[in-house]
Structure 1
């Protein structure tokens, strides 16, 4: 604005390539004045950027061959969650997603984070239960997406056992077998388990789930609300989200109590959690290697 002193840029732009910087500035209509690295998870680089008027934004950058479709799918997932999320849960605003030279970037609202206050976990549990009441005629989604950096198919199925078998367990199992992470006996156990899913799971309507709900994929807003990030959405079985929350340490018990009070689960849900965890363990096996193999084998033999 004429007559107003603008801050002098003072940043190390090696944190962002020139092409990414130029595209972000074009999207925001302002110059970047500060860039700093922040945690972006296992597969992306991430930056906190500040523009001339003082606003801050969060950007993820990835140079992998699937970076742009991966970020496009994430943006669609965020928009789905945003349109369905209850008052207890916040979803970051999506701003832009573009290819940029050999990379791609995803530009989002920056969330100022705080620490959980009294009542955070019950509110989070109630909010997730309300989100799970968003349903669909079939299990699946109208597009494929990703779980981590791996493709995730979401073909439509009328029942949960069919969806879980053909869109989740067998694709990851076959990927692990092709990488010699699973052997033929493991695949026989997996196929046997898939045939039992109709007896092991109670009938449930499809639920809109986050799809990758571990402790690294939620934030605590400074206003005390839960913020969901990095989704891998689908209309799925709602126990999948709960299974993932328990895979790497679990959430406090008050979260699960509040969920149960809001949207009770069928009896035996805790005994079924390993069934849901199997998918995520297969994903981790395919992404990170054999340290996850004992847990996979244990569940395959458990049912």
Structure 2
């Protein structure tokens, strides 16, 4: 075992029982299960700045009182993050409704500014979070324009599609109302949801404050949380322009996937742009 990890475990008074066992996932960071005499923990190894952002996000989610399970951060030191181990279990019938209620409560935690006190990362991509008062400006300047530029610079996005994204971003004030900034998980695809015997759990956040539909759009990007989820979340009050917001807020993660994983996501970016453009103001 790495000497620096041994020092972290010693500072936590944890005595390892066996070796680190790789866990599934871990596309960006290495993730391990470790049994100790004091109980199991999850150990993550990655760039220290990214791990500090993840630890900060986990603590913010735990402090929100949203009712969803969030693993406790035990220590973050350099390239190591040690946290509470959550034992996955079979998804139960009431989990989708509980997830909807929990996210509704999380998103009710609002602030005046969109962003976060610290930058963090979405996957390996640095995520600038310098706060802005207007959510449309934040989406344009902190999300869409930087990612479109980065994809274009790596020849993953042609000039014409980049211009369409920039035009879309410049036009947000014409249809998207400003709103209080909700506390978000920030990267809420299905792989960052874990079902446990205590209920749904949130892992691997990229926390900031912004429109609540950001989390919903990520949930629907690669699947569907189901009708029970939306029944609990909307509580009969879904915004009329949800389909357009869904397409808008799927554009940033699709651009990020294009940047991280290549041209297989270009079609998704194009379709999201077309969907936003197709609505009449």
Q: Specify the alignment match of 2:29 in structure 1.
A: 44
Q: Specify the alignment match of 2:242 in structure 1.
A: 269
Aligned 1:11-30 pairs, distance under 5 A: 17-30=1-14
2:162 to 167, 187, 192: 187
Alpha-carbon offset, residue 167 of structure 1: 0.4
Q: Specify the alignment match of 2:143 in structure 1.
A: 168
Aligned 1:98-117 pairs, distance under 5 A: 98-99=77-78, 104-117=79-92
Q: Specify the alignment match of 1:70 in structure 2.
A: 50
SS in 2 for 1:207: strand
TM score, norm. by length of structure 2: 0.94
Alpha-carbon offset, residue 257 of structure 1: 1.3
Q: Specify the alignment match of 1:10 in structure 2.
A: none
SS in 2 for 1:82: helix
1:162-200 per-position Cα deviation (integer Å, ceiling 9, x unaligned): 000000011111110110111211121011101221223
Displacement over 3 Å in runs of 4+: none
Contact 2:8-2:77 at 8 Å conserved across structures: no
SS in 2 for 1:244: helix
The reply on whether 1:150 has 2:125 as its aligned counterpart is yes
2:211 to 218, 228, 237: 237
1:83-113 per-position Cα deviation (integer Å, ceiling 9, x unaligned): 00322x11110011112xxxx1110000012
- Structure 2, gaps ≥5 residues long: none
Contact 1:114-1:220 at 8 Å conserved across structures: yes
Q: Specify the alignment match of 2:76 in structure 1.
A: 97
Q: Specify the alignment match of 1:219 in structure 2.
A: 194
1:287 to 241, 260, 266: 260
Q: Specify the alignment match of 2:223 in structure 1.
A: 249
Q: Whole-Å Cα distance in 2 between the matches of residues 96 and 21 of structure 1? A: 11
The reply on whether 1:300 has 2:256 as its aligned counterpart is no
Number of residues of Structure 1 aligned to a counterpart in Structure 2: 275
The reply on whether 1:260 has 2:239 as its aligned counterpart is no
Alpha-carbon offset, residue 71 of structure 1: 0.1
Q: Whole-Å Cα distance in 1 between the matches of residues 273 and 77 of structure 2? A: 41
Contact 2:258-2:266 at 8 Å conserved across structures: yes
